[in-house]
Amino acid sequence: MKSIPDLAPLEAVLFDVDGTLCDSDPLHYQVYCEMLPEIGFNNGVPIDEEFFIKNLAGKHNPDIAVLLYPDDIPRGLKFMEDKEERFRRLVLENLPPIKGLYKLTKWIKDCGLKRAAVTNAPKQNAELMISKLGLKEFFDVVILGSDCKRAKLYPDPYLKALEVLKVSKDHTFVCEDSVSGIKAGVAAGMPVVGLTTRNPESVLKEANPTILIKDYEDPKLWEALEELDKRRG
């Protein structure tokens, strides 16, 4: 897999949304902790963060519905609808951007790069979060996992983003924060910048990101982008 500087001249940057643009995982976790005991999941014992990271974070809702209600999928899907409605109420109250996000989006705009949001989140969630962050005009397109044949961890959503933007995987990188998201970007043939927003470095490393950063102010990211600039001339 190429390094970030090897992508010169860079054409596009693709972003996941939850946990990548904003620190939304604590909100999802809070809602699951409130709602899962209500349906008797795990014998009514609240889930811990480890279970959330491994089984729920970054996953596609229909897959979570199967996990929660293997024998009653429609009920599982209804549970997920209710969960997302509660999540959106929390988003309206507070949605912190990842540190340094606007520094990176400014750099991307200044470079004249194409950009897409690529997410497994339901459409209403994705639109609300992007709007709340003031990035509605920033993204050229929003690609939803539900609009693709297969959602992440498969590469389909990222491949669709490349197709829509008319850019090459050889001149594009991905920003992601979950194992399934990183795997999707890698499977689509692109270098992935992995964010350790909530997921431990040791867990994310298994998915083979090109670099791991704490947030968008991390010197590792800017060293790579400066080198990219130099190679672009």
Query: Which residues are tagged catalytic?
Result: 16, 18
> CB-based contacts of 78: which residues, under 8 Å, 6+ apart?
none
Q: Cα–Cα distance between 203 and 205 in angstroms, integer?
A: 6
Helix 73-93 / helix 123-132 crossing angle, nearest 10 deg: 10
Q: Please give the distance of CA 23 from its chain centroid, rounded to a whole number.
A: 10
3-state secondary structure 159-192: HHHHHHHCCCHHHEEEEECCHHHHHHHHHCCCCE
Name the residue type at position 30.
Q
233 CB-side CA count, 13 A: 0
Q: How far is CA 118 from CA 29, 34, 162, in A?
A: 21, 28, 11
Torsion over CA: 67, 69, 72, 75 (sign): negative
